[in-house]
Amino acid sequence: MSTKQIKIYDTTLRDGTQAEDVNFSVEDKIRIAQKLDELGVHYIEGGWPASNPTDSNFFREIRNYALKTAKIAAFGSTHALNKTAETDPNLQSLLASKAEVITIFGKTWDIHVTDALKTTLERNLELIQDSLAFLRSEVKELFFDAEHFFDGFKENKNYALACLKKALEGGAEVLVLCDTNGGSTPLEIKSIVEEVKKHFPKANLGIHAHNDAELAVANSIIAVEAGVKQVQGTINGYGERCGNANLCSIIPNLQLKMGYQCLPKENLRLLTSTSLFVSEVANLPSFHRQPFVGKSAFAHKGGIHVSAVRKNPRTYEHIKPELVGNKQRILLSDLAGQSNILFKARQYGFYLDKNDPFVLELLAKLKELESQGYEYTAAEASFELLLNRVLGRTRTYFTLENYRVLETKRKDEPPLSEATVQVRVGGMLEHTAASGKGPVNALDNALRKALEKFYPCLKEMHLIDFKVRVFSALKNKDLAGTASRVRVLIESGDATNRWITVGVSFNIIEASRQALEDSLNYKLFKSDQEKLTKALQDAYAAK
C-alpha cells in the first residue's frame, strides 16, 4: 500500500466541549493541547474566541508554549448580517487570537439560510466570500467549514456547490464538507465527495462528520477514500448530541489498514494513553469497549478464545495491541477454561502445566465463587490473592475475629457510624473502635487503627472508588429486591499502584468487609514481595 498523507484536525477543545458532560478550564485545554501535540496531530482547534472568556484566554495562554508539531486553529463564523467583514467583532476576535490557522463556518443548506439565518441565498454567498477574503491576508492558513453541506447538497445541489465556489474565491485553502446533523450514510458521502471533486478538481477537501447515525467513523474513512485530505474529529468521539467522529478509531484504521499516514509511525503507540488522558481531564469514565484504545479492546474471556490467542494472537486480534499502545488481557470468569488459568498464572510468575491438579482445583473454585456472584474480571487483586493462597504463597497477616457496626440517627443530625473490631495478629488480639462517614468508612478506620501498629505500610494506601451492584436470584423470588445479593468492588491505591478487590453477600456491610479485607491483604502481600525483591537485589549486589 502506498503511503498518502492525511492531515488530522482535532477539535476536542471546541466541538468536543459541546458534549453535555464535558467542561474544560483554560488549564485543562493547555494540558490537552500539549498531549495532542505530543501525539502528532497537525491542527488543534482551540475554541471560538468570540464565544466565551475561556476560549479567548486559551489563545492568549497557549502562546507561551512551543508546540512541536501541531498548529493552533481558531474557530468562528462568517460575519454578521448587519456588519461588514471589517467591522464584525467575531472576525476581529479571530485575528486577535493570533492563531496561525483560522477556520470559519458558513451556511450551505438553503433552509438554514432562509429559516435560521433569515436572509437571502445571495446575501449568504456574499457573507462567505467577504469573510474569507478579509481574513486571507491576515492568516497563514484559512479553512472553510461548509456547515450542513451533505444535507444541503441532497436538497439543493447547485446552491451547496455555489457556496463552495464562493469560499474558494474568498481564499479558503481547504473546503471542509460537514455532515453536521450526522445522518448521512457512507454511500451518500462517497458519491457526494466524488461529485464535488469533479466540480473542483484542484480543491483540497476535508471531512467533518457527526455520529448521530453511528456512522461518523465510517463516513470519515470513506470520504478519505473518495479524495479528502483533511479529517476533523475529536478524541474519544466527544461532541454534541451523539458526538463527533472518533479520531481514536479513524487514525489507526487509516494508518494500519489503508496505507495512509496520519501520525508519525512511532507516535501511533501514544493513542491509548492520549485517549485515557483526555477522559481523565474531562473527568469522564473511559469507555472500556472502545475499539483500539479501550481496556476491553484486546480482552479475551472465553476459554476457546484464550487457548487460540495463546498459540497465535492473530486468531482473535485484528492488530497487535502494542501498535496503538494497548495490551492484551486475559479475563477470568465462569466461562474460563484451563488456558485462562495458565495465562493468568504466568502473569504472576507461575509456569504451570495444564494437567497440574492445582489448575483443576483453582478452576473449580473460581467457577464456584463466580456462581455466587464474585467477579474476578475486574477484581484482579482478589484473584491474585486467591491464586497465591491456593499455592500457599501468601501468609495470614491478620484474622478478623469479629466486628460490629452501629448506625445512629438523631433528629436534625447527620447519621453517626461506629465500628468495633477484634483482630488477631500473630498471638495478639487487638480490640479497637472507630467512627466514620458511613459504615464502610468506620469499618475501614477501625481495621487500620488495629493493624497499622503492626503494618505501618498500610498508612500509604487509600480508597479510590467504591461500587455496589445488586443482582437478584432469578429462581427464588424471596431473594429478589432488597433481599438480593450485592457485589462490592473496592478500588484502592498507594503512591505507585492501584488495585481492585471484590466481596459478595446478602449484607452490604459484609460484602464491603470482604472487599476491604482483601484490599488490606493485597497491600501487605505486595509490600512483602517488594521487600523480598530488594533483599535479593542487595544480596546480589553484595556479591
Angle of helix 338-347 relative to helix 380-391, nearest 10 degrees, comes to: 90
Chain segment 387-410, per-residue pLDDT in tens: 888 777 888 999 999 999 999 988
Instruction: Write down the pTM of the prediction.
Output: 0.72
Place of cell 480490640: 431
Distance from C-alpha of 282 to C-alpha of 290, rounded to nearest angstrom: 17
CATH number for the domain harbouring residue 491: 3.30.160.340
Average pLDDT over residues 458-479: 73
* pLDDT computed for residue 340 by the predictor: 63
Q: Mean of the pLDDT values across residues 498-525?
A: 93
My answer on whether 69 and 156 are in the same domain is yes
- 489 is in which domain, residue-wise? 373-397+461-543
Average pLDDT on 241-251 reads 98
Q: What are phi and psi of 153, to 5 degrees?
A: -65, -40
Instruction: For residues 483 and 417, state if they share a domain.
Output: no
158 plus 136 within the same structural domain: yes
The CATH number assigned to the domain holding 119 equals 3.20.20.70
What is the reported pLDDT for 475?
46
Q: Is residue 290 part of a domain?
A: no
Read off the pLDDT of residues 99-155 as tens digits, 9 standing for 90 and up: 999 999 999 999 999 999 999 999 999 999 999 999 999 999 999 999 999 999 999
**Bridge partners for 143 per DSSP:** 103, 174
CA angle 216, 196, 214 (to 5 degrees): 10
Decide which of 454, 484, 519 is a domain's last residue: 454
Among the listed residues 175, 248, 176, the one whose alpha carbon sits nearest the alpha carbon of residue 217: 248
Residue 337 has pLDDT above 60, yes or no: no
Among 454, 469, 484, give the residue marking a domain's end: 454
Confidence band (pLDDT; 50, 70, 90) for 464? Answer: confident
Task: Indicate whether 33 and 61 sit together in one domain.
Answer: yes
Pairing of strands 141-147, 260-261: unpaired
pLDDT band at 469 (very low <50, low <70, confident <90, very high): confident
In which band, very low, low, confident or very high, does the pLDDT at 334 lie, cut at 50, 70 and 90? Answer: very low
- Closest Cα to residue 348, out of 307, 312, 390? 390
- Whether 2 shows a pLDDT value over 50: the answer reads no
**Structural domains counted in the chain:** 4
Do 179 and 72 lie in a common domain?
A: yes
Which tens digit of pLDDT belongs to each residue from 296-307? 898 887 667 767
Q: Are strands 43-47 and 428-436 parallel, antiparallel or unpaired?
A: unpaired
**H/E segment holding residue 183:** none
> Could you tell me if 392 and 403 lie in one domain?
no
Do residues 107 and 21 share a domain?
yes
Average pLDDT, the chain: 90
Alpha carbons 351 and 36: distance in angstroms, whole number = 41
pLDDT tens-digit series, residues 9-18: 999 999 999 9
Residue-wise pLDDT for 39-63, tens only, equals 999 999 999 998 889 999 999 999 9
Please tell me the predicted confidence (pLDDT) of residue 109.
97
Residues facing 466 on adjacent strands: 490
